[in-house]
Amino acid sequence: MQLRGKVALVTGAAQGLGRGFTEAMLHRGAKVALLDIKVLEGRKTTKELASKYGPDKVLFLPCDVTDKGQMKSAFQQASSHFGQLDIVVNNAGVTEQENWDMVLDINLRSVIHGTLLGLDHMGTDKGGGGGLIINIASMAGLIAMFIGPVYTATKHGVVGLSRSFGTPFHFDRSGVRVCAICPTMTDTAIQPPRVAATPEEQLKADAHWAYTDSQGGLLQVSEVVDGFLQLVEDDSKNGAVMRITKQKGVDYQPYGGGGQGVPYATRKTRSKL
Ligand SMILES: NC(=O)c1ccc[n+]([C@@H]2O[C@H](COP(=O)([O-])OP(=O)(O)OC[C@H]3O[C@@H](n4cnc5c(N)ncnc54)[C@H](O)[C@@H]3O)[C@@H](O)[C@H]2O)c1
Ligand SMILES: CCCCC[C@H](O)/C=C/C=C\C=C\C=C\[C@@H](O)[C@@H](O)CCCC(=O)O
């Protein structure tokens, strides 16, 4: 998909990777609705981007992605404000917390909801024009991240969700590509401090940083954004799971079973179901 003239919605867009994806799309001529629970940071980011790319190109919508009403309303506002919606980036996420329900709600439930809302707004079967949904998973969606079992579980869920909606069975009806991106550790505020407040936290921090350093250190946001843009522009990728690592750069997780690795029904086979 070429970005000029397109409209995107990005969750968790106030900072970090979400801000990076947003700015890259604005730079290529898209308009973007920025959603975030951090209202002050979101407004500040939007103001900065408006002064660079034009006030008509951005819209900040305060939104807690775990609140179904707020999410539904934000999708409606974005699409009526800009008159269309072409790309949804489910990016908002948090790392492991004591309140594991919240990790599930933000990292998985809201991504499921954002994907369903994206299909409702963009699906050709729902009166939309087709489009693209990119779910931001993590390398922890493909391998076990030892300091975050719940985080790991949610990211595996995001990968499975994206692969399933990325089968021809769904694309035939909706015309919406659904893909996931799995970066390794990236230099954003989600990273834990190297010096922690308690001995237990320090143990985890030491293990995390020893592993991260052994893997070549942190990715920069720009490296993840480059992979994101490749995925946006490559219409052949549906159900694809992009990996971004220090060692290999951008590549795709191989799955067996004829590409998609899962059984699917095409338009032809579905008519016989
Ligand atoms: N940084 C990494 O190492 C890394 C690696 C792989 C994947 N990821 C994933 O990338 C995504 C972005 O993370 P980041 O590294 O930019 O972190 P970040 O903390 O800088 O940004 C996350 C954003 O999500 C927002 N957010 C959190 N909870 C929210 C909620 N309930 N409603 C709305 N917005 C909410 C935050 O306010 C923040 O702006 C996450 O899904 C994360 O899991 C990050
Ligand atoms: C606690 C801080 C937040 C981290 C968030 C992030 O999403 C977590 C990432 C978790 C795991 C990263 C693993 C990285 C591994 C790679 O460096 C590489 O070794 C994996 C290669 C896999 C392959 O080639 O098959």
- Give residue-wise pLDDT tens across range 204-252: 999 999 999 999 999 999 999 999 999 999 999 999 999 999 999 999 9
- Mutational pocket test of ligand 2: of 103, 188, 224, 245, the residue with most ligand atoms within 8 Å of the beta carbon: 245
pLDDT at 256: 73
Query: Residue 259: its pLDDT value, please?
Result: 47
Pairing of strands 241-245, 7-11: unpaired
Ligand 2 nearest atom to the CA of residue 191, by list position: 2
The best mutation among 136, 184, 244, 247 to test binding of ligand 2, ranked by most ligand atoms within 8 Å of the C-beta, falls on 184
Contact 150, 100 (CB under 8 A): yes
**Tokens 């401090």 sit at which residue?**
193
Return the residue whose CA atom lies nearest to atom 8 of ligand 1. Answer: 138
Q: Give me the percent of the chain exceeding a pLDDT of 70.
A: 94
Residue 134 CB–ligand 1 contact under 6 Å: no
Give the per-residue pLDDT at 268: 47
Mutate to test the pocket of ligand 1, among 188, 225, 250 (most ligand atoms within 8 A of CB): 188
pLDDT tens-digit profile of 129-149? 999 999 999 999 999 988 899
| CA 29 to ligand 1 center in whole angstroms | 24
What is the reported pLDDT for 147? 83
pLDDT band at 151 (very low <50, low <70, confident <90, very high): very high
Q: Report CA(16)–ligand 1 centroid distance (Å).
A: 7
Please give the average per-residue pLDDT across 59-68, as a whole number. Answer: 98
* Residues belonging to the active site: 151
Ligand 2 site, residue 190, Cβ cutoff 6 A:
yes
In this predicted structure, what is the pLDDT of residue 257? Answer: 55
6 Cβ contact partners less than 8 Å away, ≥ 6 residues apart: 25, 29, 30, 31, 86, 87
DSSP-assigned beta bridge partners for residue 208: none
CA–CA gap between residue 249 and residue 216 (Å, rounded)? 11
Closest among 141, 90, 92, 88 to 112, alpha carbons compared: 90
67 CB less than 6 Å from ligand 1? no
Radius of gyration in angstroms for the set of CA atoms belonging to the chain, rounded to a whole number: 18
Q: Which residue has the higher pLDDT, 146 or 103?
A: 103
CB burial string 13-28: b at 16+ within 10 A, e below: bbbbbbbbbbbbbbee
* 208 Cβ closer than 6 Å to some ligand 2 atom: yes
Residue 264 has pLDDT above 60, yes or no: no
CA-nearest of 134, 177, 133, 140 to 157 is 140
Give the pLDDT score at 99.
Answer: 95
Rounded to an integer, the average pLDDT of 92-101 is 94
Phi and psi torsions of 191, nearest 5° = -65, 140
Alpha carbon separation from 111 to 12, 25, 91 (Å, rounded) = 11, 20, 8
Cα 211 from Cα 52, distance rounded (Å): 38
Q: Which of 169, 171, 172, 108 is nearest to 138 (CA)?
A: 108
| Complex ipTM tops 0.95 | yes
Residues in the chain: 273
CB of residue 114 inside a 6 A radius of ligand 1: no
Poorest-pLDDT segment among 5-9, 60-64, 200-204:
200-204
Closest ligand, as measured to the CA of 20? 1
Between strands 7-11 and 87-90, the pairing is parallel
List the structure tokens of 69. Answer: 């009403």
Beta bridge partners of residue 252, listed in sequence order = 242
Residue 258: per-residue pLDDT: 46
CB distance 141 to 158 below 8 Å: yes
- One-letter amino acid identity for 202? Q
Per-residue pLDDT at 265 exceeds 50: no
The rounded mean pLDDT for the chain is 94
Distance 142 CA to ligand 2 centre (A): 8
